[in-house]
Structure 1
Amino acid sequence: METQQTKKQLASENTNIKFGKAGWGIILYCGAMFFFLIGFSIDGLNIVAPAFAAKTGIDYADVLSVATIAGFIGILSYILIGRINVKIGARVTSGICMIGAGLSYIYWGSTETLFTYGVGLTLVTSFINGAAYIAGGALVAQWFPKKKGLVNGFTTMGHNLGSAFYVPLIAFLIGAFQMAKGMTFTGIAGIVLGLIGLAFIRNLPQDKGLYPDNVTKEVFESEYCTESVGEGKLWTLGKVLKTKEVWLVSLVIGINQLVTTGVMSQLVVRNMGIGFSQAKAISLMTMCACVGVAGSYLFGFIDQKFGVKKAIIIFLVWYSAALAVNVTDTVMGVYISVGMVGIAIGAAANFIVSLPASVFGRHGFAEVYAAYFPIMQAVLMTNYIINAQAIRITGSLRGAYLVYIGLLIVNIIIISSINVKKYNKDYLAEDQALGKR
């Protein structure tokens, strides 16, 4: 019979942050990769794209259109990187991809034509996502299979810190040293991070004589599946694609990221449309990103304490309310929604790794993630179509926000139908230890 003492010992319910030196090293490494992800391929475009247009005289709209093409090509590269990650492991994959991202960023800064600019952006997008999400996600799943929610709350702070600090950093560097030299500085920093990863990061805690979640040998043997990762592997690509949970999880996270990307990529434009000056709208976006740091930890804690399904449902209700307040088109509504959206964007990235890691566990994570991530990205990319159609039909982004609210409500229905522990061998072992199965 389950006692209170036993319950307190469960790693899946433990919210302390005693991850150990090696564990914190993994967390800081993954957080740093997220910082460069946001800076290199997303928010940094606010500076790099105008700088390139000004340098070359190419129309800014044409420069922006390249990002969509790069995103769709990236989906194909994620399939390849995912398979490579399965074969060679997350340490080497993350290190090589970070080095590739840094070198590509340096090349991108030196481009002079729209074609070479597109090549540079595509390479940067592919490598940095491969490092931060595909390899970084695998590291989190292996090192923290039951504390992934709490850990993701820390690693995704890199997202928000990137939004808050990378943009002014690259703006200063490009302003002071021009585009090529300015981007070389941060490109070299990305290469250094990759080299650090190759030298010090390990695929599994067992490689350092440790156990997942930094638990003791006794806890590991009683609450975890002791089968080695890769032993008795059952997840072939065909089976992955035939498993409905793969598609449902991809759809849920894809919709979450579709909404988040759609909101954040046009937040300045949206707030200016309500009546704010550009400077004020930009400051509101920075405030939103800073609030997101708290959102990352808050929902990481909720995930750890109450489970990923409840955390996602709470997140979806909160996000829907935030956008509903925004579409009132009032000044007060915008101020309130900025804080609420900040919490939501901080939380959204947590679930990209946490949900598939919960459903499929560390034993099948790499194989499943190799298929899940490209599918999720394909759903995400439709945000550009929704934004464009909303502006064309309604004349503003308000219509897009209403569509986003509807999608978030649909997501509540979908996540409610998913067994979020179905294929997770560690949770099965925990249930057996408690006499539940």
Structure 2
Amino acid sequence: MKRSKTNSRFLQIINPAKSPIFYGYIILLVGTIGVYFSIPGQTIGVSVFTDPVKDALGLTRNQFSNAYMIGTILSSLTIGRAGVWFDKYGAIIVAFGAAVLLGITVLLCSVSTILSESLATLLNSPSWWIPFGVMIVLFYLLRFSGQGVLTMASRNVIMIWFDAHRGKVNMFTSIALSFGFSSSPLWINYLIEGHGWQQAWQFMGIALLCFSILILLFYKNKPEDHGLHPDGKQSSKPRQQTASVNTYKQFTLKEAKQTRAFWVYGLMLAFNSFFITGLTFHVISIFTTQGYEKEDAIAIFLPASVISVCTSTLFNWLSDKLQLKTLLHLMQFGGIICSIGFLILDSKVGVLLLIIGFGLMGGLFAVLNTVTWPRFYGRDFLGAITSRVMSFLILGSALAPSLFSLCYSYLGSYNPIGYLGLAFVSFLVVASIHAKNPQ
């Protein structure tokens, strides 16, 4: 395969076969860090920059949200190709390219006002379309390389190095990322307030370029490439003893799309991406319309992250033995109470339900988005399958900011989003009745 050609002498500086511990645990560590470094391309990393950047560029909230939506939709249309690259060339090359592209893009974001002013001078036009177009391109690159490719490659390489213990190792990743992502708005805001939004992006861009070197050194495509086996075992036990987590058929993307489970699980994960993205992007506006202060809005993330971590820890540990449909139904329950809480947010009960639903969905998302696909469809075409699911997630996150904003701008309330959430999740509850593991 072409993947083996990527193993240059430089990439062989660290030999997994000579590691004193199973190298999969090193992959677990660096892969988790890889997902964390995607924060500049995630909504939670972009949202902190919303107000200072839109004001500097002279864009309204709707214009900025629409630029984010268009750029993200475009990235969802091209992320599938990255999955094919992952299956063909492996995690090293794909993750390295994504980290470099994300780093360069973040550096370009730091000079977005200069780029816009230069284009306005060149075109002799002060129109708002120029900074709007610049942000579309930058958002496309941020979302494609960050939320899309770097996240997909880093998660997949961890799952490839483990089989029977995927849930347990994903527990570590989920805990680390839950606290890491939930705390990221705090340190990003600290950088912005202390050094300005331009320099904050510059710090992040330089860090990403440095991390790309670690990807070349430590990421390894498959354990079999180095004479190793997933989980670090030599397959001494009969295969039937781990039948609940091993796969017998390696599904192609086309075959996976013909199963109900692919769509039901994928769409539920996409709903989580949609709802949480919209809530995160407009959280201050949503809460202030209900009479709360800015601090009250930001405060929901900590308890939600605690619930998310507890949920993901428990069910990652149990997922190696539980049917994933049980976890799917729990996630759907989280979506329903989250939507109800959103509708009655003016009460303390509403805030509590929103936090609990937020946490449940986030915790189970961390389990299902990682464990489902290799268990249901195998490892051979994991990149193509997960990148298609990733396109659902990116599309959901693309539509959310603008739909939330449009609801408030034209209907005077965010409540229609809550009704939409209740209807969509209820539909998925019915559709999931026959969504079985295709294995």
TM-score category by the smaller chain?
A: 0.7 to 0.9
After superposition, the Cα gap between the structure-2 partners of 1:344 and 1:48, relative to the gap in structure 1 and judged at 3 Å, is: same
1:400 is matched with which residue? 417
Match of 1:320 among 302, 324, 336: 336
1:188 is matched with which residue? 206
SS of the aligned residue for 1:255 comes to: helix
Per-residue deviation, 1:109: 1.1
Amino acid at match of 1:285: F
Question: 2:303 and 2:250 mapped to 1: Cα distance?
Answer: 46
1:104 touches 1:124 (CA, 8 Å); kept in 2?
Answer: yes
Per-residue deviation, 1:196: 0.9
2:287 matches 1:271:
yes
TM-score of the aligned structures, taking structure 1 as reference length? 0.80
2:336 touches 2:357 (CA, 8 Å); kept in 1?
Answer: no
2:160 touches 2:379 (CA, 8 Å); kept in 1?
Answer: yes
After superposition, the Cα gap between the structure-2 partners of 1:83 and 1:134, relative to the gap in structure 1 and judged at 3 Å, is: same
2:142 matches 1:124:
yes
1:41 is matched with which residue? 42
1:200 is matched with which residue? 218
2:271 is matched with which residue? 255
2:332 touches 2:429 (CA, 8 Å); kept in 1?
Answer: yes
- Following superposition of structure 1 onto structure 2, how do residues 138-287 of structure 1 map, counting pairs within 5 Å? 138-219=156-237, 223=241, 235=252, 239=255, 245-287=261-303
SS of the aligned residue for 1:44 comes to: helix
1:82 is matched with which residue? 83
Question: 1:241 and 1:326 mapped to 2: Cα distance?
Answer: 32
Deviation track 1:2-52 (CA, whole Å, cap 9, x = no partner) reads xxxxxxxxxxxxxxxxxx652332222232233233343311223323222
After superposition, the Cα gap between the structure-2 partners of 1:415 and 1:196, relative to the gap in structure 1 and judged at 3 Å, is: farther
1:47 touches 1:171 (CA, 8 Å); kept in 2?
Answer: yes
Per-residue deviation, 1:89: 0.7
After superposition, the Cα gap between the structure-2 partners of 1:311 and 1:249, relative to the gap in structure 1 and judged at 3 Å, is: closer
2:69 matches 1:68:
yes
2:383 is matched with which residue? 366
Question: 1:158 and 1:401 mapped to 2: Cα distance?
Answer: 30
- Following superposition of structure 1 onto structure 2, how do residues 342-353 of structure 1 map, counting pairs within 5 Å? 342-353=359-370
2:304 is matched with which residue? 288
SS of the aligned residue for 2:285 comes to: helix
2:433 matches 1:416:
yes
Deviation track 1:36-73 (CA, whole Å, cap 9, x = no partner) reads 33343311223323222343444344223211011111
After superposition, the Cα gap between the structure-2 partners of 1:402 and 1:150, relative to the gap in structure 1 and judged at 3 Å, is: farther
Per-residue deviation, 1:254: 2.1
After superposition, the Cα gap between the structure-2 partners of 1:248 and 1:397, relative to the gap in structure 1 and judged at 3 Å, is: same
Cα root mean square deviation, aligned:
3.1
Amino acid at match of 1:189: A
Range with bigger deviation, 78-87 or 259-268: 259-268
Match of 1:378 among 366, 379, 395: 395
Question: 2:174 and 2:164 mapped to 1: Cα distance?
Answer: 17
Question: 2:415 and 2:293 mapped to 1: Cα distance?
Answer: 18
Range with bigger deviation, 372-381 or 108-117: 372-381
1:318 touches 1:344 (CA, 8 Å); kept in 2?
Answer: yes
Deviation track 1:251-287 (CA, whole Å, cap 9, x = no partner) reads 3332333333333333333333332111221122344
Amino acid at match of 1:147: H
Range with bigger deviation, 305-314 or 53-62: 53-62
1:431 is matched with which residue? none
Range with bigger deviation, 257-266 or 355-364: 257-266
Per-residue deviation, 1:218: 0.5
After superposition, the Cα gap between the structure-2 partners of 1:349 and 1:38, relative to the gap in structure 1 and judged at 3 Å, is: farther
1:307 is matched with which residue? 323
Aligned-pair identity (%): 17
TM-score of the aligned structures, taking structure 2 as reference length? 0.80
In the alignment, structure 1 segments of 5+ residues that lack a partner are 1-19, 424-437
Amino acid at match of 1:257: S
1:271 touches 1:334 (CA, 8 Å); kept in 2?
Answer: no
Question: 1:386 and 1:177 mapped to 2: Cα distance?
Answer: 32
- Following superposition of structure 1 onto structure 2, how do residues 106-117 of structure 1 map, counting pairs within 5 Å? 106-112=107-113, 113=116, 114=131, 115-117=133-135
SS of the aligned residue for 2:378 comes to: helix
Count how many residue pairs are aligned between Structure 1 and Structure 2: 399
1:33 touches 1:128 (CA, 8 Å); kept in 2?
Answer: no
Deviation track 1:135-182 (CA, whole Å, cap 9, x = no partner) reads 123213312233333333332345433433222222222333333332
Amino acid at match of 1:358: R
After superposition, the Cα gap between the structure-2 partners of 1:327 and 1:54, relative to the gap in structure 1 and judged at 3 Å, is: closer
After superposition, the Cα gap between the structure-2 partners of 1:277 and 1:57, relative to the gap in structure 1 and judged at 3 Å, is: same
Amino acid at match of 1:314: L
Amino acid at match of 1:281: A
SS of the aligned residue for 1:218 comes to: coil
2:312 touches 2:367 (CA, 8 Å); kept in 1?
Answer: yes
After superposition, the Cα gap between the structure-2 partners of 1:220 and 1:91, relative to the gap in structure 1 and judged at 3 Å, is: farther
After superposition, the Cα gap between the structure-2 partners of 1:163 and 1:290, relative to the gap in structure 1 and judged at 3 Å, is: farther
Question: 1:282 and 1:270 mapped to 2: Cα distance?
Answer: 11
SS of the aligned residue for 2:413 comes to: coil
Question: 1:84 and 1:291 mapped to 2: Cα distance?
Answer: 36
Per-residue deviation, 1:307: 2.6
After superposition, the Cα gap between the structure-2 partners of 1:300 and 1:385, relative to the gap in structure 1 and judged at 3 Å, is: same
